[in-house]
Structure 1
Amino acid sequence: MLRAPDAESLLDLTREKLVVLDEAGKYTYLNAATRDVLGFDPETLFGTDAFDLVHPEDEARIRAAFRELVDGDGDGTETLEYRYGTAGGDWLWLRSRIYAPSETDIDGYVVSSRDVTEEVESIRRLETIVSTSTDVLWMFDADWSELLFVSDTVDEVFGLSRARLQQEPRAFLDRVYPADRAHVVRKMRQLSDGHSTTLEYRVEPDEGEVRWVRVPGEPVREDGEVVAVAGFARDITDEYRHKRQLEVMDNLLRHTIRNDMNVVIGTAERILEATETAEPIGTAKANEAGKNGTERNGTERNGTERNGTSGDGPAVSDAVDVEAAARTVRRVADDLLDTAEKQRDVIELLSRGGSPQSIDVEPIVRELVGEMRTERPAGEFSVSCPSDVTAFALPELEYAVAELIRNAVEHADTTPVVEVDVTRTDGEVRITIRDNCPPIPIEERHIMADRWKMDDLRHTVGMGLWLAYWVAERSDGSLAFDTVDDGNVVTIHVPREEYPEENDPPGLASDRETDPPSGN
């Protein structure tokens, strides 16, 4: 006949380790599952300090949690995870919850423990994999109100800590570029509604820094209901820049070649028309005018000019037109060759890569301005530069500054006035070129700032400006534009060479030289 089960028999059948501790933390009861979990006979551990078998790295934390509960300061609902020794000398992970006597009416503190070694080790393996990835792995609940998981790389990519996201799960939206934020929110709603999504958008991890990320996301379902959303964010800034560089080069070349070739074709048609309709000069002079009653010089015998023009007039005029057309073709061809040279320089810059290096700025700007003074003696040029300023940038920085100075000279409607001003702060060097040119078109400034997409309607024509932009960007700097009443202000921002504290450079002694226009 079967007997009614007693409580102790039922406790021995459970697979969880159930024990009772006194206020000192010694075992006063252990169920039979202790043998299955730890390999110890319950009698062996009876009366011993339960914390003696806790891993040394976890012992202080677990003892403190137990002492807080005994003293009435702790929360018995807290779940503790820690390593515990086995009879075989190994360590396993236990997940335990401690119940105070007030909760159980038992004389002692009941500890319910479960072996979670496989789970913990699986999570550790996942964390190891995640730690080797530069992607940001993430998981939120279905309505984005709770962060379930995010990898540490979120700080590097988004400029946010895990702790901040745990407190404010939607704080990452603050880092999304303002123009992209509405699009991101729409995709978040689609993901919560159960649709897979992939989007690319800009983030600002630090002030003034813009990076591109690609974010695939998937809904997580249980019993057909979306309970969470998960995915990863990958920094694709370099990929985006490379793609954009190709688009810019393609657009610049197509636009330049199309415009220049239109000029060449139109000029060639004029030459053909002139040569087909005009009588050659030599033939006109060889023909006798007698059969028309004219002299060899093309005038009537009565002294009047035929048709009111010189006999050589049409031929000479056509010859002049052809000469002018030929000069136009030559000029356009030279421009195309110059474009090809700049294209080669740009492609070399983009493909070579290279690393920033220390660059003494003062000799560069003074030499470049000196060369331009020689080339354009009527211009007004000035330089202001600290006597000792060192940038940390690509070697092509000199080329970039030269392009900006040349642009300032070539686009001036009147006598060019160019000021080059070099300043430095704790972290960067600024090379500013001021001119008296018409304002740089807003299309060029917005496209370079990545506000507008380049297309056939919105494009730039200055490959030199793009070269300067890419030199600054690949030097971890930037190119900034501003307009003033009498011209433009273009500034290259590049990092400053770092000095050891004990070898700080001298003070910012600055001098300014200004040369009047030649001949004044």
Structure 2
Amino acid sequence: MDDPEKLRALLDHAQDKIVVIDENGVYRYVNAAVERLLGYTTEEFVGTNTFEYMHPDDREDVREAFGRLLEGAVDDIETIEYRHQAKDGSWVWLESRVENHVDSTLGGYVVSSRDITDRKRAERRQRETEIRLEELAANTDDVLWTFSEDWSELLFVNDAFEDLWGMPVERVKADPTSFLDGIHPDDRDRVLEAMHQLSNGTPRTMEYRVNPEKGYRRWVWVQARPVAENGSVARIVGFARDVTDRRRRERQLQVMDNLLRHNLRNDMNVILGHAELARKRADGTVVEGMETILETGWKLLETAEKEREIVDVLVGVGDVGRVDLASTLRDKIEEFGAEMAPEATITADTPASAEVVSLPEIDRAIHELLENAIRHADGPPDIEAELHVESEDVILNVRDNASPIPRNEFEPLFGDEEPSDLYHGTGLGLWLVYWIVDLSEGTLDFEYVPDCGNCVTVRLPRAE
């Protein structure tokens, strides 16, 4: 276009700010967009230095970029983002492009700039959101995760995964489906089916067991949903929450409910039945009936007292701490030998000290184990207690000379099967032991050796 006036009019209608500056940054030409973007008139701008309008934090970066252009260190065009002060004192983000050669006609370097303030604000809001999400992910106990739609790529997982699953985060990042190895074998098929449904667009909520290091005793509640883009699943997002304590409480309540519905009701029926017979007969059999009433009544009172102890443990669960199991065991053996069961023979093999991490009530569990062994002995009680320390655990073995402990006394508290209506659970003492040990992150095992007796093994975390 040869007509300078038409060219000027055309430039003045451009949306971008177009200027010509010399090698010192002085404006030689400014189009009318400067007033629309920054509030200055063209007359106010021409003859001033561009660096005077730049934010102090950006000025040196722009000077360096312009210097590289002057030295020919940059090919073709230099692009830079910075804040430019408007006439009202506010700051406007500009993206400027400068060609690396002087236009001989215009007598300077041509710079075109466009307003990117809205984009910068959006980027800042996005970054602030990302920071908040990063803080949330780093400070929550929930596992937050995102997978690709076919589960072949792990897009995000926070560090909570390692503690809950018992697997390094690096492993699942390298092999996304390796998280399945941390799921209980009996639950994996259900999880695989849920993954298939999620990939097909169906949200899923489920619970399953994880963490092989802890014997898959961690329960997680998982909510996951597919994220669709352009009508198809693009990725899967979800979280996993540790609900082990909730599952434990539910199981405990089921057992206690079973106890109340069966034991107390049945024992009271025996009491009432014999009382009615005694009232009707009013002869010599009254004595026998009353003896049965008394025996059953005492059993009922004992059951109620044991139930109260269990409820106290479950309701008043405190923090675990350091306990010297060796000293506790010796004290309990001395207590039984001197006062409670002098007829019992109790031998112990213990180190001088064996500190564990457990609930303070662990002494009550030891008391219960010794009392059960004495009460159910076939003949004079003969009990052996052995305590030994391993690298990570302390193990207590209590052996007796009693008949086998009925498996239905403890099986409902191992695994996750529901108590049946036929299960009355007369062995409340063993339940008390189990819950104290379980709440101490320990394990409890039972074994019967013919002609020898029962061996109850308690394994507790060793204190560092």
Matched, 1:386 2:393: no
Q: Check 1:85–1:344 CA distance in 2 against 1; reply closer, same or farther (3 A cut).
A: farther
Q: 2:422 aligns with which of 450, 453, 457?
A: 457
SS at match of 2:268: helix
The letter of the residue matching 1:482 is: E
Q: How does 1:69-468 map to 2 (within 5 A)?
A: 86=82, 117-118=123-124, 119-204=126-211, 206-208=213-215, 210-275=217-282, 318-319=283-284, 321-373=285-337, 375-458=340-423, 460-468=425-433
Tell me, yes or no, if the aligned pair for 1:252 and 1:463 is still in contact at 8 Å: no
SS at match of 1:350: helix
SS at match of 1:170: helix
The letter of the residue matching 1:487 is: G
Tell me, yes or no, if the aligned pair for 2:365 and 2:433 is still in contact at 8 Å: yes
Deviations 1:374-427 (A, max 9, x none): 654554432211233333332222211111111112223444332111111233
Tell me, yes or no, if the aligned pair for 2:321 and 2:357 is still in contact at 8 Å: yes
Q: Distance in 2 between matches of 1:361 and 1:206?
A: 24
Identity %: 38
Q: 2:446 aligns with which of 472, 477, 481?
A: 481
Deviation of 1:355 after TM superposition, in Å, equals: 2.8
Q: Distance in 2 between matches of 1:362 and 1:220?
A: 56
Tell me, yes or no, if the aligned pair for 2:184 and 2:216 is still in contact at 8 Å: no
Deviations 1:188-210 (A, max 9, x none): 22222222211111111524362
Q: What root-mean-square deviation, in Å, do the aligned CA atoms of Structure 1 and Structure 2 show?
A: 3.4
Aligned pairs, number: 371
2:456 corresponds to: 490
Q: Check 1:451–1:237 CA distance in 2 against 1; reply closer, same or farther (3 A cut).
A: closer
Tell me, yes or no, if the aligned pair for 1:260 and 1:332 is still in contact at 8 Å: yes
Q: Check 1:441–1:335 CA distance in 2 against 1; reply closer, same or farther (3 A cut).
A: same
Tell me, yes or no, if the aligned pair for 1:157 and 1:205 is still in contact at 8 Å: no
Q: Distance in 2 between matches of 1:398 and 1:444?
A: 21
Q: Check 1:161–1:494 CA distance in 2 against 1; reply closer, same or farther (3 A cut).
A: closer
SS at match of 1:206: helix
Gaps of 5+ in 1: 3-12, 16-34, 51-83, 95-113, 276-317, 499-520
Q: Check 1:361–1:234 CA distance in 2 against 1; reply closer, same or farther (3 A cut).
A: closer
Q: Check 1:266–1:198 CA distance in 2 against 1; reply closer, same or farther (3 A cut).
A: same
Deviations 1:167-219 (A, max 9, x none): 21111111111222222222222222222211111111524362110001112
Deviation of 1:48 after TM superposition, in Å, equals: 8.0
Q: Distance in 2 between matches of 1:132 and 1:480?
A: 36
TM-score computed with the length of structure 2 as normaliser: 0.71
Q: Check 1:468–1:85 CA distance in 2 against 1; reply closer, same or farther (3 A cut).
A: farther
Tell me, yes or no, if the aligned pair for 2:327 and 2:353 is still in contact at 8 Å: no
SS at match of 2:186: helix
Deviations 1:283-333 (A, max 9, x none): xxxxxxxxxxxxxxxxxxxxxxxxxxxxxxxxxxx32x2111111111111
Q: Distance in 2 between matches of 1:272 and 1:189?
A: 69
Q: Check 1:355–1:149 CA distance in 2 against 1; reply closer, same or farther (3 A cut).
A: closer
SS at match of 1:460: coil
Q: Distance in 1 between matches of 2:211 and 2:365?
A: 26
Q: Check 1:355–1:126 CA distance in 2 against 1; reply closer, same or farther (3 A cut).
A: closer
Deviation of 1:259 after TM superposition, in Å, equals: 2.6
Q: Check 1:472–1:139 CA distance in 2 against 1; reply closer, same or farther (3 A cut).
A: same
Q: Distance in 2 between matches of 1:394 and 1:207?
A: 18
Deviation of 1:481 after TM superposition, in Å, equals: 1.9
Q: Distance in 2 between matches of 1:356 and 1:396?
A: 10
SS at match of 1:178: coil
Deviation of 1:233 after TM superposition, in Å, equals: 0.3
SS at match of 1:387: coil
Q: Distance in 2 between matches of 1:48 and 1:337?
A: 97
Deviation of 1:49 after TM superposition, in Å, equals: 7.3
Q: Distance in 1 between matches of 2:66 and 2:323?
A: 77
The letter of the residue matching 2:150 is: D
Tell me, yes or no, if the aligned pair for 2:222 and 2:240 is still in contact at 8 Å: yes
SS at match of 1:246: helix
Tell me, yes or no, if the aligned pair for 2:410 and 2:431 is still in contact at 8 Å: no
Q: Distance in 2 between matches of 1:49 and 1:247?
A: 78
Q: Check 1:130–1:365 CA distance in 2 against 1; reply closer, same or farther (3 A cut).
A: closer
SS at match of 1:270: helix
The letter of the residue matching 1:253 is: L
Q: Check 1:137–1:274 CA distance in 2 against 1; reply closer, same or farther (3 A cut).
A: same
Q: Check 1:49–1:237 CA distance in 2 against 1; reply closer, same or farther (3 A cut).
A: farther
Deviations 1:113-141 (A, max 9, x none): x9894444443332122222221111112
Q: Check 1:461–1:191 CA distance in 2 against 1; reply closer, same or farther (3 A cut).
A: farther
Q: Check 1:128–1:368 CA distance in 2 against 1; reply closer, same or farther (3 A cut).
A: closer
TM-score computed with the length of structure 1 as normaliser: 0.64
Deviation of 1:353 after TM superposition, in Å, equals: 2.3
